[in-house]
Structure 1
Amino acid sequence: MADVRIAIIGQSAFSADFLKLMVSKGHTICGVFTPLDDPKTGREDTLASTAKKFNLPVFKVKTWRLPKETVKAIPEIFEQYKSVAPDLNVLPYCNQFIPMEVIEFPRLKSINYHPSLLPRHRGAAAINWTLIEGDREAGLTIFWTDDGLDTGPILMRRACTVLPNDTVDSLYSRFLYPEGIKALEESVNLIKTDYAPRLVQPERDATYDPILRGKDERTMIDFSRLTTADQLHNFIRGMDKVPGAWAEIKLTSGTDYERVKLFTSTKYPIEDLGMPDVLRLVNLRGLDKEAIVHSGGLLMFTNGDGRPINVEKLQLVATGKMIRAATYGSAEANRPPLVLSEEEQENVDKIKSIWAAILSSDNIVKSTDFFFSGAGSMDVTRLVEEVKDVVGDSLELDNEDVYMNTQFEDFVEMVVRRTRGESSSGAELDYEPVRLTANKLELKFPNQLFINNKFVNSVKANNTMPSINPTTEESICEVQVATKEDVDKAVKAAKLAFHKDSEWRKMNPRDRGYLLNKLADLMEENKKELATLESLDSGAVYTLALKTHIGMSIAVFRYYAGWCDKLQGDTIPINNARPNENLCLTFPKPIGVCGIITPWNYPLMMVAWKSAACLAAGNTLVLKPAQACPLTALKWAELVARAGFPPGVVNVVPGKGSECGQAILDHPDIKKVGFTGSTPTGKRVMESCSKTLKKCSLELGGKSPFIIFADCDFQRAVRYGMSSVFFNKGENCIAAGRLFVEESIHDEFVAKVVEETKKMTIDDPLKRSTAHGPQNHLKHLQDLEAFCKRGVEEGATLVYGGRRVDRKGYFFMPTIFTDVTDDMFIAKEESFGPIMIISKFANGDIDGVVARANRTDYGLASGVMTADMSKALRVMTDLDAGTCFVNTYNKTDVASPFGGFNQSGFGKDLGQEALREYTKTKSAIIEF
């Protein structure tokens, strides 16, 4: 191609990026013409800065023409322009009027970029009108420059589909900006090869649309004219973010209207989501029906078709403050603007300069959006590190803070409040906490329902239940109890949070993983408080709670945080439909709203096992924690909100299984249930799920056999034999329900176990020396007493324990039975307590003991102790249980799948397997 000398006339990051592309492609740029430097800041346009980096001649022009002159340029400016001897002018983006004398001077003339499909939407507000008019297609045109009316011959057009919720910013960022730069460069290539067309614009379908910026009468929402949901939605998004569609609003209880601009509009799917819960009612001038402020924004019903439109953000015109629409009329929305100290103002000015440098723009205003202005993921890291350099490394700031505060005003407020030690939202999570002192800690925790990131009371007045401390038998506090109506509210919030346009659904998987890690960090920071609550509420020994109950909970969230961006499908070879080819792809998709019902033995850990996988897969959830001990789950909910999870993603509803649990099972909008509990209850759960064909996973009861061969490491066998039963007071799903000990070591084993059991310290679980704390609740203690009584009545030998400890609290002695035959009740049924059931088996009878071990309805776990690995592998293979421990016991790990067979349930917690429980697989068959 012949060399062509190109003059670039314009400004902005768009023009600068076009220049970079042209230089990288080897084009000859003879000169760059930009406006003068900003008179207020002294900054030059980014196009000028970019040109200087390439050592290109830069000319800064205040104006090209005299007033009212359209043809002739100012002579000295024209001479300056001619000095670079251009063959072609390219105007990527130019808001100066360029006289025709300049346009026509080069031998190849001039080309322009225009962000619409000409001849439709001529004028400076082309993108706005594309959306306002409801065009199904948007696009760009490269045309031969005319006298400024966008009527020149067309060289190239490119089109894209307008997405349902496109805004001016999103349309520009995803198509008009990147494709416009490429189209301009390709147009230059066509001109160089003499293949560039000149298609005369037809006048049919041509429109010349008026400007909007600065024209209040054109940007006002006229509800009498915009009478359908489509019209209203298109009008609002057509001005998002600039210039902004405005209306006048007031609380129904108020008297004075105020002007607000409305942003982030969507057509609200009321058939899918139902009516939202009302936070406040408002009037908009000209709108017939009251609008609803709800957790997801502001819901308006049009005057014509009555369909709802939701907006997520409002800008208070009087102050310029941008707020979440859900906060309108609340204390948060009315919080006064920040009053900055001199030092803070200096920092804000420096942060503004950082934004300007990253975005290559001097026009950083309150509403400037970091990403809509062209920033990418690499820019996020740069922003975080540069702001830390300015403010100081002590500032807690990470990438997610940028994603959560994308507008300049919000970002600056967040940084300033962080430096002051305040919450970035201006206030901590709003609830009235229970306060008490225990374990040398000042505890503060919620006792209400957690719905939509708020702690609320039940809809039923005075609907509470006591949470009992099993050590003292006294009430810790009253806890709100969820009704069916409360569950419905929680499900509605979760469903809204799962909607395809929600913040949670639009979040990148890696950012979802960040939130899980952030939650794990907060749990780590609060682990002593969580472990103390677990001890008070469930009787867990504090040292064990710290390591296992809470420690493993934290590890689970970290593990699944790593899985968030690794959920992937398969590419599957299939038979081709000749002569074409076919391809099969699979995609794991989140299921939707999940119901999670957890037991009382590990109050927080069971929440973590299920919710971490559920959230990693992208679902939302409604959790019913154990009725007997809900406090750690509620404290965890507080941490969820503090971590930054969007409202509705996690909801916690303490309550009774018969009402709250059943409401979760019956709710048609819950698509999956994860349950841990007893086998009889699990059967009822499965039956309820079948009525709406819910997917369910059940981790139920067990009677796990532990076979101890004579060739084992004896001391190790004693140690693991005891921990297999007495770990966590026996309140352990996989506890060894029956020990089979080879005859030759049986008596010695029993004697040693009794000796060691007598040494166990039974005391207050908060004491560091305690090995054995109280059982979880009174009914369970009474069941253990009845279990032991039946064992004695059936002829088993009670060697040790079997009764309640003579002290206050639900303490039960570690218990040992021998001479237990296979037909006895205690040999077949689960005690779920610290009761060791020992049976002997004949020396060398491997097949016989395995057969006896498998003679159970359950199949959760099992164990074998032997020095002979061939024997161990043989036994492990034959034992019919979901997990088999070899020369160990209770060794669970976040990466190892956990779940049972038979009447111990189905489905898995933990490991990669658990993610399958919370996803559904979609297949795509492609022919090409």
Structure 2
Amino acid sequence: MSFVLSLARFSATVAARSCLQSPRLFSTSPSLAKELRIAIIGQSVFGQEVYSLLRRQGKNVVGVFTVPDNNCRPDPLAAQAEKDGTPVFKIPRWRLKGQLLPDVYEKYKSVKATLNVLPFCTQFIPMEVIDGAEEGSIIYHPSILPKHRGASAINWTLMEGDSTAGFTIFWADDGLDTGPILLQRSCTVDINDTVDTLYNRFLFPEGIRAMGEAVKLIEDGKAPRIVQWEGGATYDQLWQKKDVAKINWNTTALELHNFIRGSDKVPGAWTMIDKQKVTLYGSVFVDDREPVTGREIEIEGLAQPAVITQNGLVMYGSDGKKIRVTQLQLEDGRMIPANKWGREEKVEKLELSPEEEALQEKLRGIWSSILSLSIVEDQTDFFAAGASSMDVTRLIEEVKDLCDVSMDNDNVYMSPKFTEFVTEVVIRSRGGGQASKFEYEPVTIEANGRTLQFPNQLFVNGEFINSSWGKDYDCVNPTDETVICKVESASVDDVNTAVKAAKYAFEEGEWGKMNARDRGALMYKLADLMEEHKEELATLESLDSGAVYTLALKTHIGFSIDSLRYFASWCDKIQGKTIPINHARPSRNLSISKREPIGVCGIVIPWNYPLMIIGKWKLVLI
């Protein structure tokens, strides 16, 4: 008797460890694989993908129970099942006044299911249905149970700053996410993950595969039932309504970051800026060493001003550390890049070529297919028409496949209306939209028969900014001592900020990480741009330094262009050298020297011919 008990305990222990730690499972069950009659109960793209996977695996799906159509648009699960000829039942509700509706129950019983699979289900399913299948019911839940029980598990995983996320497939019982565990999977949470990125990267694709694996385990009689430990259970508040997501600024930067990304995109963390409700998206935890330069704005409840930089809106936690958001949603629903706050964007009216008009109709067809709409109007809103985050992914993939234009999620969220989206795609197809432009108020002068425009601000940390102490000085033409323009005068603080920016770029900048061929390509591009605008540059050089125009054109600009191209050609040809050292037998070690670009230089430039000095003698050191 004791041997039997010991064997049973051994089997249970191995099964439990296998379920939680490895996809290899063990069971002493002698039963052969059984023929399952599967009922899918649920909705969404996730439900559709699980259904399609089970069909591909040859499983017998006898019925799909899902939600009714939304504005004549069937749920993706319903649409796929109807296409396959699988019986589909669109159930508005399963109960009325706490009682199971008899006609609904009869529909369920008619398919004679032996296993219920609930991949994603927002409806309350009565216990008569849960227990109505011989093998019971299994449910997918996007957390590592027993932690984060409830309908907002992914939100709370991020808002609580968990370092590990995952999902559980469990056997349904009469509690809220309390049933025995069948299997679990986990992943590391990236510091800048949002609900969408975590779901799309791991919870969605791995969850689909795991649901197929769970059904196979049940089919083979090897599916464990591991009782959840109630000591580690947490129940989380539903996180869907906007009023719960107002930002409390009296928290640390990391807590702010977790709150914003845990609410991204639904319900959306919000605050008051200039007396309007603004929702913040795309939070990034900022390196302490990264300098901050830009326009300051006041945010209600924030102790110190936020700063609009070229990369977004930087805000400070109660601990003085920084976060940055990249997108803002205004009260009227419009999404804008955070660095555009307070600046009116000019809406570009495009004149489409015949080829671009054909592209527009191709895009209209893609939208029609995804949204299940017979007609897509110019003002059709992608999300108002019922699109979800998975539809965004599908849209991006189809635009890439059918139109050969690369987009990202933000492009869709920022251009939700059809005409806006068409404009974004066309601009990108023309080679635009890839990078933000430098913004500054140009100085305009007439010289040498040309209209010249150029900045007169400090250029610090990749932005044109005014000096912190509000001083400027005259830039004088040395030939006649006339004032060309006023130029911002850098303060000690400005210089310190610039040095910090250079130090950060030296340690973390992209130049040193870039491969040699790409560095050379950028230097060639700079040389080409200088050649394209050499007359303008020569005119500015002659005004600023007093050089003869023809000399500036041929020598100052020409030599700089030649130097850039010469050293650009060397970028992918400089090789390291192998230096022999003592043979540390038996390893026979070698030491290899690898040349790397410094990327940042501190240069003190005299007044005479600064462009030539930078281009010909100093920039080549890159």
Structure 2 length as normaliser, TM-score?
0.71
Asked if residue 48 in structure 1 is aligned to residue 78 in structure 2, the reply is: yes
* Residue in 2 that maps onto 1:239: 263
* Residue in 2 that maps onto 1:262: 280
- The residue matched to 2:393 in structure 1 has which SS? coil
- Aligned letter for 2:73? R
* Residue in 2 that maps onto 1:307: 320
Q: CA deviation at 1:116?
A: 0.9
State which of 375, 390, 412 in structure 1 corresponds to 2:393: 375
Q: CA deviation at 1:61?
A: 0.4
- The residue matched to 1:375 in structure 2 has which SS? helix
- The residue matched to 2:366 in structure 1 has which SS? helix
Structure 1 residues 441 and 89: alpha-carbon distance in aligned structure 2, compared to 1, 3 A threshold: farther
State which of 343, 346, 349 in structure 2 corresponds to 1:331: 343
Q: CA deviation at 1:201?
A: 2.4
* Residue in 1 that maps onto 2:472: 462
1:740-782 Cα offsets, whole Å, 9 max, x none, are: xxxxxxxxxxxxxxxxxxxxxxxxxxxxxxxxxxxxxxxxxxx
C-alpha distance in 1, partners of 2:361/2:151?
A: 31
- The residue matched to 2:533 in structure 1 has which SS? helix
Structure 1 residues 525 and 487: alpha-carbon distance in aligned structure 2, compared to 1, 3 A threshold: same
C-alpha distance in 2, partners of 1:594/1:367?
A: 49
* Residue in 2 that maps onto 1:800: none
C-alpha distance in 2, partners of 1:188/1:5?
A: 11
State which of 440, 451, 456 in structure 1 corresponds to 2:460: 451
Count of aligned positions? 562
C-alpha distance in 2, partners of 1:326/1:434?
A: 25
Are the counterparts in 1 of residues 307 and 315 from structure 2 also a CA contact under 8 Å? no
* Residue in 1 that maps onto 2:237: 210
Asked if residue 431 in structure 1 is aligned to residue 431 in structure 2, the reply is: no
Identity percentage of aligned residues: 34
C-alpha distance in 1, partners of 2:595/2:396?
A: 28
* Residue in 1 that maps onto 2:534: 530
- Aligned letter for 1:35? V
Q: Which has the larger radius of gyration?
A: 1
C-alpha distance in 2, partners of 1:632/1:353?
A: 54
Asked if residue 292 in structure 1 is aligned to residue 322 in structure 2, the reply is: no
1:189-209 Cα offsets, whole Å, 9 max, x none, are: 111111111122232232222
Structure 1 residues 387 and 445: alpha-carbon distance in aligned structure 2, compared to 1, 3 A threshold: farther
Q: CA deviation at 1:6?
A: 2.5
Q: CA deviation at 1:211?
A: 1.0
* Residue in 2 that maps onto 1:16: 48
* Residue in 2 that maps onto 1:279: 295
Structure 1 residues 540 and 240: alpha-carbon distance in aligned structure 2, compared to 1, 3 A threshold: farther
Alignment map for 1:49-88 (pairs within 5 Å): 49-51=79-81, 55-69=84-98, 72-75=100-103, 77-88=104-115
C-alpha distance in 2, partners of 1:577/1:151?
A: 60
Structure 1 residues 586 and 310: alpha-carbon distance in aligned structure 2, compared to 1, 3 A threshold: farther
Q: CA deviation at 1:9?
A: 2.3
Are the counterparts in 1 of residues 315 and 322 from structure 2 also a CA contact under 8 Å? yes
Q: CA deviation at 1:100?
A: 2.6
Q: CA deviation at 1:143?
A: 0.7
Are the counterparts in 2 of residues 445 and 631 from structure 1 also a CA contact under 8 Å? no
Structure 1 residues 499 and 181: alpha-carbon distance in aligned structure 2, compared to 1, 3 A threshold: farther
- Aligned letter for 1:533? L
* Residue in 1 that maps onto 2:66: 34
- The residue matched to 1:383 in structure 2 has which SS? helix
C-alpha distance in 1, partners of 2:595/2:122?
A: 46
C-alpha distance in 2, partners of 1:367/1:554?
A: 52
Q: CA deviation at 1:157?
A: 1.6
Q: Cα RMSD between the aligned structures?
A: 5.5
Asked if residue 318 in structure 1 is aligned to residue 331 in structure 2, the reply is: yes
* Residue in 2 that maps onto 1:665: none
Structure 1 residues 525 and 267: alpha-carbon distance in aligned structure 2, compared to 1, 3 A threshold: closer
- The residue matched to 1:293 in structure 2 has which SS? strand
C-alpha distance in 1, partners of 2:601/2:387?
A: 36
- The residue matched to 1:463 in structure 2 has which SS? strand
- The residue matched to 2:92 in structure 1 has which SS? coil
- Aligned letter for 1:312? V
1:525-574 Cα offsets, whole Å, 9 max, x none, are: 784323552476375585899988548858987997x99xxx99x9xxxx
Alignment map for 1:640-679 (pairs within 5 Å): 677=617
- Aligned letter for 2:47? S
C-alpha distance in 2, partners of 1:122/1:627?
A: 68
Alignment map for 1:732-743 (pairs within 5 Å): none
C-alpha distance in 2, partners of 1:489/1:130?
A: 37
Asked if residue 416 in structure 1 is aligned to residue 426 in structure 2, the reply is: no
- Aligned letter for 2:366? I
* Residue in 1 that maps onto 2:21: none
Structure 1 length as normaliser, TM-score?
0.50
C-alpha distance in 2, partners of 1:585/1:82?
A: 74
Are the counterparts in 2 of residues 356 and 364 from structure 1 also a CA contact under 8 Å? no
* Residue in 2 that maps onto 1:922: none
* Residue in 1 that maps onto 2:600: 594
Q: CA deviation at 1:178?
A: 2.0
1:468-522 Cα offsets, whole Å, 9 max, x none, are: 79xx99998776676765443334445667897xxx879x979x99999799779
Structure 1: stretches of 5+ with no match in the other structure: 251-256, 389-397, 598-623, 634-653, 655-674, 678-697, 700-907, 915-928
C-alpha distance in 2, partners of 1:149/1:316?
A: 34
Q: CA deviation at 1:128?
A: 1.1
Are the counterparts in 2 of residues 531 and 550 from structure 1 also a CA contact under 8 Å? no
- Aligned letter for 2:532? K
